[in-house]
Structure 1
Amino acid sequence: MLDNVSHPQSINPSAMYRARDCARFYSIGLSTWWHWAKTGKAKRGTKIGPKTTVWDGAYLLELKQKLMTETESRGG
């Protein structure tokens, strides 16, 4: 049986996503997602609780497009 946890998910532009969901969407590790947020590759999320940060689905789709464009422009 296939486990959907390891596969990227589709993003609903009107939903909010936690860090683990963001990492899965980009097929990166959770620590890499937090590094992106810390260093500015991705914007910092919105804190909705003391230990809960979320990102807007529309932003995640925009960032994916931006990253794909950057990769194409570098010839990779």
Structure 2
Amino acid sequence: MKSSNPFPEVINPTAMYRAPECARLFGIGLSTWWHWSKTGRAQRGIKLGPKTTVWEGCYLLELKQKLISESQN
């Protein structure tokens, strides 16, 4: 049984995050995260290898702020 954390996770601006971690940080599904990346809602990640893509923590913080401000308008 998976316990849910009632507190939001802190995004480290100097860390790199893979897609499953990004989806979890934004509270969305993995396929939604990839859709966001494909359609431009989130920038495309940095390819480290043929099956490894990461996003910078500082970018994720910026994206989170952007989405919060969009929701308040």
After the TM superposition, which residues 1-76 of structure 1 pair with which residues of structure 2 at under 5 Å, given as runs?
3=3, 8-73=8-73
Aligned residues between the structures: 72
Deviation at 1:59, TM superposition (A): 0.2
Structure 2: give runs of 5+ residues left out of the alignment: none
The alpha-carbon deviation at position 9 of structure 1 amounts to 2.4
Contact 1:14 1:56 in 2 (8 A): yes
When normalised by structure 1's length, the TM-score is 0.86
Identity %: 65
Instruction: Give, in whole Å, the separation in 2 of the partners of 1:54 and 1:38.
Output: 14
CA distance in 1, matches of 2:34, 2:9: 18
What is the CA–CA distance in structure 2 between the aligned matches of 1:3 and 1:69, rounded to whole Å? Answer: 30
Residues of 2 paired with 1:34 and 1:44: CA distance? 9
- Kindly report the root-mean-square deviation, in angstroms, between the aligned alpha carbons of the 2 structures: 1.9
**1:22 counterpart SS class:** helix
**C-alpha displacement of 1:33:** 0.2
Detail structure 1 runs of 4+ shifted over 3 Å in the superposition.
Answer: none
